[in-house]
Amino acid sequence: MSDTPDVHQLGQQTALPASPDAATLERVANPHPGTDYVARFTAPEFTSLCPVTGQPDFAHLVIDYVPGQWLVESKSLKLYLASFRNHGAFHEDCTIAIAKRLADLLEPTFLRIGGYWYPRGGIPIDVFWQTGALPAGVWLPDQGVAPYRGRG
């Protein structure tokens, strides 16, 4: 069992949640709450389903945040993101729902998400959202995902 209170998935065998709503996102105390720094999570193989056709959609997600009092527990984030595999929603809905759920849970100083969706029907859809201004003096690197330029 974990030494961190309110963390129940870490160190335990945990089944994939049936849906994003059924997934449990967990947080842990930030060991440096007075220091502004960026934590980045990258999910280059994110998948969900088109709500109309049921066909799979694929994205490269980059989540950057400046923690306040809380950090997201990474196993719970991994399971939450994986729960979208059988979830039907448009690209914009998936990206913004993830961002808002993290912002509500963590109450970060700053959070941004880039959802770089692979083309379906010849059109890539990239979705970006952030909570506000980055604190002064915090280094936030480029998300490192090349813009879509076709197959040429």
pLDDT in tens, 48-103: 999 999 999 999 999 999 999 999 999 999 999 999 999 999 999 999 999 999 99
The chain-wide mean pLDDT, for the chain, equals: 91
Catalytic residue among 50, 64, 94, 126: 50
In this structure, is residue 87 part of a structural domain? yes
For residue 14, name the pLDDT band (cuts at 50, 70, 90): confident
pTM of the complete model beyond 0.85: yes
Assign residue 102 the CATH number of its domain.
Answer: 3.30.1130.10
Catalytic residue among 57, 64, 94, 104: 57
In this structure, is residue 75 part of a structural domain? yes
Structural domains of the chain, count:
1
Q: Does the structure show a pLDDT above 80 at 11?
A: no
Which among 79, 134, 126, 86 has a CA at the least distance from the CA of 101?
A: 79
Q: Is there a catalytic annotation at residue 64?
A: no
Structure tokens at 54: 């049921």
What pLDDT shows up at residue 1?
36
Please answer whether residues 36 and 137 qualify as being in contact, where contact means their C-beta atoms are separated by less than 8 angstroms.
Answer: yes
What pLDDT shows up at residue 103?
98
Q: Is there a catalytic annotation at residue 104?
A: no
In this structure, is residue 142 part of a structural domain? no
* HSE, side-chain direction, 13 A CA sphere, residue 130: 14
Structure tokens at 140: 């936030």
In this structure, is residue 136 part of a structural domain? no
In this structure, is residue 21 part of a structural domain? no
Domain enclosing residue 110, as ranges: 28-126
d(CA 67, CA 63): 12
